[in-house]
Each structure stands twice: as structure tokens, then as C-alpha cells.
Structure 1
Amino acid sequence: MSLDPDLLRAFRVARYRVCAAGRPRIHVGRRAPAVEALAADAQAFGFITACNPDGRRRGRASNVRDDAALAAALRAAGFDLHRAIAGDVAGRWNEAGWLVAATDAHDAFARLDALALRFGQLGVLAWRRGGRVRLRIHARAPAGLPPACVDAVPRCR
């Protein structure tokens, strides 16, 4: 499956914010020191949602149910969680999600990718402390080279 170029652009320019003091924002391609300050011991960070799998809108009840299941799975995988929200720049599409933090960065991205696939997500954000936020897409990149700060991760289901 190849990711639609418009959807890739939407992921890259979306507004990601953490529901914590100061409501720190996450931007693909930028560093996130205010977000990293929320988890002083963490070495790896990410954003993930369980809403609207494969980029298709669905009902609130299904999204709420899967959000609760995702939170439980993230905790079981050893992540610390902070509520976060992703939305389009026009404010018409918003999804509840989670800022995740891990003290051990060794396999944090693999755990995050596995949960994204389990919950049908086409992309997650991930980065190491002090690094730039990267978008990890779980589909083939559109034709041509993927934009800066985007990693295409094989999607195996």
C-alpha cells in the first residue's frame, strides 16, 4: 500500500499538542525540548493514536474504545503516557492520542511501530531526546524520495 501524497502532507503539517502545562507542541522536523521536559529520564518519545484506522473516519464510540485499549497496550509495553491531540490546520479533523516516553530507547520505536500496526495506524511520530521529530509511515512512501524527517517503515500484517 502506498501512502496518498495528500495524507502524507497532512501528517507532516498536522498540529500535535500535549495536554499538559503550557500545552507544548510537536512539529515534524523540529526539536521538542518543551515536550521532552515532561519526562526528564526518557530517551525516546513518540505520538500515537488509535483513532480512525487507515485514515478513515469512524464513529466516536469505536475511537474511544480503541483509545482505551491503546493506552493499556502502551502501558503494558513500558511507555509513560501523556494525553495528546493531533489535528489538521483547519481544525476539522482532531484525534485523541498519546505522547509516549521510554527510558530505554533501544527498542522503543519497534514497540511503537508494532502498536501502530496493531491499531491500524498509517503513521506515528518518533524521536530521540534532543533529536528532530520524525514521521514514521507504515506504508510505501509516495513516488520519489520521501520528504525530510519521514521514514517509511515496512507494513507487515
Structure 2
Amino acid sequence: MRIYRVVNASELAAAYAAADYGVTLDGDTVRLRVGEPATDLEAYWPASRYVFVTAWNPASEPHSDTINESADALLVSQLDADGVARLRAWAQGPDGHWHEPGWLLADVDDHAADHLAREFGQAGVLCWTRGEPVRLRMLIQRPDPASPSASESPYTDWPGETVPETQCAG
């Protein structure tokens, strides 16, 4: 497992929560947003739990396409070995300047999702239970748990914090 130190975890979480996420199904792009239900996706691709994970740019530091593609291939190999159902997905900054391919996984438990994300150097994943809003689960500690950032989404969960029972539990 890789361990990374992030300078400002609250700002990183706010950026992840503000990002656009999507998956292409039968030629149509289905958008995912933190804090919103994914009704169209869930109707098309039924599962009880969903996770978005990427192997690109560990520790939120840019890497070359060659390095990122190699990491992605390792992630795919692991998903294949574990028999995980997946769809190609992506994440993108609201301004469109940052784009990362990733995978939308079906019916992966929180422990396995966290393990995958940490193994590939990721600071967080999207996860949600069917019928519930998409949530961002950070895998790194909030710098100051007593004072969340004003820009933080109420749909962001941090290690050690209580999460509603119907949501992602770490």
C-alpha cells in the first residue's frame, strides 16, 4: 500500500466533490455528481452498491499518460482477478482542464473499495447505495476535524466520522 501526505485535504475534498463524473452507456453519457442521486445509471445498470475509483495521478499529482495507463492496467487486472463488474468511467474538473479515466464498480463492499483506492494511491472514492445520493468518501484524515471547510460538501465522509447507516460506511 502506498502512503501519501496531502497538504490540504479539505481543499482536495472540495475539488473532488465539485468535479464532474460520468459513464457512457449505449452511447449516452450519464453524469454523476456528489450529493445527487444516480437514478438514470441505477435504472440502466442495477446494483446494490456503486463505487467510482481510478488509478490515475496518485496523491493528486500529475503523472505521464504512460505511467497512468500502466497503473490502470494493473487495476483492471486486479478487478478481473476479483471478478468485479465494471464500466469505464471518468472524472473531470468543472473547468474541463483536468480529466481522469476510472472505473465504476458494482457491488463492491467498502473494505474492498478502500483497499483498491489506497493500493493505487487515491485519496478518496465515490460510493453510494442504490437509491441514495452519490457520496465522496475520503480515505485520508481531515486536517482539523473540529472545523470543516465552508466549501466542503455535506456528502463528504471522512475516516472516523459517523456516516448515516444507509450511506457508505468505512
Separation in 2, partners of 1:153, 1:65: 29
Superposition pairs for residues 124-135 of structure 1, below 5 Å?
A: 124-135=125-136
Separation in 1, partners of 2:121, 2:139: 9
TM value normalised by structure 1: 0.87
After superposition, the C-alpha distances for 1:111-155 in whole angstroms (9 at most, x for unaligned) are: 11100000000010000110111101111124324641111136x
Number of residues paired by the alignment? 149
Is the deviation greater in 67-76 or in 130-139?
67-76
Instruction: Decide whether the 8 Å contact of 1:46 with 1:100 is kept in 2.
Output: yes
1:38 aligns with 2:39: no
* Matched position secondary structure for 1:113: helix
TM value normalised by structure 2: 0.81
1:76 aligns with 2:81: yes
Separation in 2, partners of 1:140, 1:116: 15
Q: Detail structure 1 runs of 4+ shifted over 6 Å in the superposition.
A: none
**Which of the two has higher C-alpha Rg?**
2
1:48 aligns with 2:49: no
Gaps of 5+ in 1: none
Matched-pair identity in %: 35
Residue in structure 2 matched with residue 6 of structure 1 by the alignment: 11
Instruction: Decide whether the 8 Å contact of 1:50 with 1:97 is kept in 2.
Output: yes
Residue in structure 1 matched with residue 33 of structure 2 by the alignment: 27
* Matched position secondary structure for 1:70: helix
